[in-house]
Structure 1
């Protein structure tokens, strides 16, 4: 058996939509079981997202259910509760009362040795054919009528913030029951608890308590191993420890207790004042101080308190895994769904260690299973906001499958279940080989910084080094945008299309800055013809064609394209001309700018003088923008770096060149999106 999905409703940041976490799918789970070499990466579930979006809430919810903990008002989504209270205020008849819901999907393997007695009450006829079932858990009020009565009383008595506070207090004092239902909505009345079906070992982010954490962790493991060994060999360890205590107590009594009591007799009678010193050795005390953890580096033993926090964190996780493998007998692995969750393992780890994290854990689990010869079918769940661990997961497993991206939308947690078939959809119009190549490109290319887009507040895609260099400068100077984490990616337009489905899924505001790429004849290229209108002109830009209904003509193209969370910006008319690239648009927008002209003459002195001649009004610069752009084609890095240098050292801000209008419009759109969402 394995955990297939978990759908959370109204719990903390979760609402009732986009709230389903998908774990390992059946096919990859079966492949993992059949594989000769152990590789947990394809079956590891990654829950990834920015801070405070609800990642840890998922494991916390499971823990509360498994440990039969009470649910309080703080466990409910406050937006949900406020909406309920507003409905109560409007209507005298209360229909819905507060509830939490957890819908758990369990996969059942064909021809497995799993003991399914735990789940028989939840099985309906359809489940047998589908090899899966659902368990619906609802946390519901024990007495709804009393709750409704009390709600009406507090509405009459209180108002405003105080009313909501009293509403929370009412929920806290109300009795809630945890009820189980099968997929058909029928109540399961048997003596069932979810902890009979699911076992969870949660490794927390803050598992380093002090300088002796590693010693204590490994002492526990050694203690368990020795105790199991003694029991296996029929040794009565407690009786032997008792004999040691008796002998030590006798020696202490002879050497110390008698002398102390004789001294005390001079103060008070023996009947009133005596001491007894005795040995109190136990197996736990013996083992707790048995281990001294040291780190060996080049034959030098380094004390535990000098061990780097990153390595300590990794070793604590490994110690927890060893402890987990040691303590559970093999039969429990076949009667339960076994989960191991690791919360934010990146804490204290440097980027390279994060990058190798899943490989290291994979190697550890593989080694443990071989040494113990156990058939462990545990699923690994990792919550993280590390782009390096995300990248490690994608490359170790060679797939986007089993990645849950979590964000916040309208005050509710929003889950996006990533999958290869969603990111690069299968379709009749999509050539099979092209699709495979695009998917391969995306997996490989995401390694180079692009995995950061999962954690960005906004994304800007550009197609050239000049845009990338200057946009970073301008955003840093923007008093609004410099407060957000905005990632800028320089990806060629045709290849950038591969990312578009992923961008839509992530719902991160994205500005795509592309070029008109006006098609010119050879004669027009040779004569550097300026383009003053778009009549009968066509584009070679694949992005524009895709989002303009595959229409390549430019004369009917709108000034920008907005699709879902994407804004596509490209050149518009400037000073009577249409630029075909960012550099040309920048020149047309700032042809009179002294700073820009100083950069042009520095980078292309000969061409600049040929064009400008005696023109002191810089009209020739405007009229030869396309020629300048073509001549800069092989010097774009020099142009961008020289311009950035001048911008940084300039004393007067008035000399700063303006961004082309199409980019300014895109930046305004991005700013509005960010301010609105935050």
Structure 2
């Protein structure tokens, strides 16, 4: 039995969102402010047992707050029509006003098997279809009486006149008019429903939330004692467990013995004070008698505020406080302890919950990459080793290492590129790619790439795909020179070589993040065996670049590529940039190196003596070449440098003044724009 689908309406940025939940672990990824945490918060608002977690006005999608204000205006107009005697128009406006009052909604679809214990969900099974193994629970925050809300809203507005602030009134009164309700809804007929008490709904679905911003203290004072307090909570959760009964009884027996000794000491210490009370007639007042001070020591009370986590020092003689441990290990201990405590509480709950979902926000906080990979790799097995119950885990993360370990099927990508949040299921992406001609090969490549490289494209504002080392080393400098605004954005730079950018096509189109592909035009001579590289001015030259031929702009001759208009190099959110002449009718490079040489021929000529690769230039163009000579020989120079591309990039970095090749400049300028 597990939750398979969640549908959200009108909660913060999630105006209308659907998410398929993995039976075991779901990874929620996306760039900042893409509503990942909001999704988790919604479950907390509806299903947490804490009284401190309440809905507020700002939980409504901002456009729906505006709808509330508009509803008040419609309601006021309806009253005016009624006063004027037009009851028909008044009723129409009144109905529109009430319909405009928004509600926050979370609809959960749950699948179960015939072998599952159905007792915990018997109240929400509303169909008689033997082949239907699905139930639905809908949690709603809505106005209890929309008409009264709007009437009071209008009346307050009238009384205050121009001084009335709709937002402040709604914020102050929100909790007075909006309440949560829970209903079971038939999966085969939406009209068949049954109201559930909040306690009944929360008994069906047990949740626990482990947030990223835990207050760990790494100072000697140990002010927060986060771990110590967590162990206190774990003791309270475990103290009623029969499996630990003997250990807990031993603790309580020891405390009882200490309590008896304290009672004797209390009698001696407080006896003079109690005698003083008799002077004021306490012993003469019936039924009052002189009090006796006794100790009442309980295990949970002793732990509360009195427990400290300590770590052994190097010689194991002087224990060190909690704050002396690294934040990474503290975070990991805290997370595992919270998970263990959740499993314990579910096992001991009465009645037993039908479903358990554990929400973990950014578990990578304070963990180094290896610990991140280990965590995501072992979380499912760890839970299975501690309970026979099916516990679903929902993890929000910005960790490319966790994403790489999880695989596509578990990833849900929150896309914030449009006007609203769109949730994209990468298991669907995986299935769709498999259907294409080379889909399985593409998936295998992408999965291997994710394991071997940082796949931070899932969290990026923008993406740049580059071919090789020289571009990677010089790209930060090029961005600083011609696209400074990109330095203030989260840009993922991915090195893909000259043949593999096209492998990312489906994934990039799926993610819909603005992406620039910087690649080489790769001119080859089709008239020669094995089609060797050739200058771009060869009239019959073709490109060997798979991206240019199969994707953008979808052309194979160098002539047609150089004639391609800028708009034809763009498809939706993706643009390709390949070599073009620096000047009209000027030479065009074949690779990054000769394009850079053409763009900076004069600078290279002036600084040739300072270049580590001076000898490669001299062998091609002789001593003291001029800028025009270097420009005309760029192809041959670059060919001689083919085995020294990294050194060439370092030489370029040391130049005091150089120009970004035109094709990269144009591409980065496009990427800079919203």
- Band of TM-score, shorter chain: 0.7 to 0.9
Q: CA deviation at 1:520?
A: 1.6
Instruction: Provide TM-score, normalisation by structure 1.
Output: 0.80
Alignment of 1:591-606 (within 5 A): 591-594=601-604, 598=608, 602-605=612-615
Which of residues 357, 366, 377 in structure 1 aligns to 2:390? 377
Task: Report whether the alignment pairs 1:52 with 2:29.
Answer: no
Task: Report whether the alignment pairs 1:440 with 2:444.
Answer: yes
Paired residues of 1:249 and 1:277 also in contact (CA < 8 A): no
Task: Report whether the alignment pairs 1:621 with 2:639.
Answer: no
Count of aligned residue pairs for this structure pair: 627
Give the match for residue 489 of structure 2: 484
Kindly report the root-mean-square deviation, in angstroms, between the aligned alpha carbons of the 2 structures: 4.0
Distance 1:409 1:331, change over 3 A: same
Unaligned runs of 5+ in 1: 30-42, 651-655, 674-678
Give the match for residue 636 of structure 1: 645
Q: CA deviation at 1:542?
A: 0.6
Q: CA deviation at 1:639?
A: 0.7
Q: In 2, distance between residues paired with 1:296 and 1:418? A: 45
Give the match for residue 40 of structure 1: none
Unaligned runs of 5+ in 2: 78-92, 217-222
Give the match for residue 65 of structure 1: 46
Task: Report whether the alignment pairs 1:587 with 2:597.
Answer: yes
Give the match for residue 264 of structure 2: 251
Q: In 2, distance between residues paired with 1:252 and 1:553? A: 99
Q: 1:272-293: per-residue Cα shift (whole Å, max 9, x none)?
A: 9977432222343345578653
Q: In 1, distance between residues paired with 2:320 and 2:368? A: 20
Which of residues 451, 455, 459 in structure 1 aligns to 2:455? 451
Give the match for residue 185 of structure 1: 190
Distance 1:167 1:247, change over 3 A: closer
Q: CA deviation at 1:306?
A: 1.8
Q: CA deviation at 1:444?
A: 2.7
Give the match for residue 36 of structure 1: none
The alignment partner of 1:633 has SS state of: coil
Q: In 1, distance between residues paired with 2:255 and 2:634? A: 95
Paired residues of 1:562 and 1:568 also in contact (CA < 8 A): yes
Q: In 2, distance between residues paired with 1:494 and 1:450? A: 19
Which of residues 11, 23, 38 in structure 1 aligns to 2:21? 23
Give the match for residue 145 of structure 2: 143
Paired residues of 1:140 and 1:176 also in contact (CA < 8 A): yes
Q: 1:105-127: per-residue Cα shift (whole Å, max 9, x none)?
A: 212235334436435444474xx
Give the match for residue 9 of structure 2: 9
Paired residues of 1:103 and 1:137 also in contact (CA < 8 A): yes
Task: Report whether the alignment pairs 1:109 with 2:113.
Answer: yes
The alignment partner of 1:416 has SS state of: strand
Q: In 1, distance between residues paired with 2:535 and 2:249? A: 96
Q: CA deviation at 1:472?
A: 1.2
Distance 1:504 1:328, change over 3 A: same
Distance 1:255 1:80, change over 3 A: closer
Q: CA deviation at 1:199?
A: 0.9
Q: CA deviation at 1:545?
A: 1.2
Which of residues 338, 342, 351 in structure 1 aligns to 2:360? 342
Distance 1:402 1:458, change over 3 A: same
Paired residues of 2:259 and 2:296 also in contact (CA < 8 A): no
Q: 1:568-597: per-residue Cα shift (whole Å, max 9, x none)?
A: 111123343332111122222222224775
Paired residues of 2:71 and 2:101 also in contact (CA < 8 A): no
Q: CA deviation at 1:88?
A: 7.3
Paired residues of 2:34 and 2:414 also in contact (CA < 8 A): yes
Instruction: Provide TM-score, normalisation by structure 2.
Output: 0.81
Q: 1:180-227: per-residue Cα shift (whole Å, max 9, x none)?
A: 343432252344543132111222334446453333433443455454
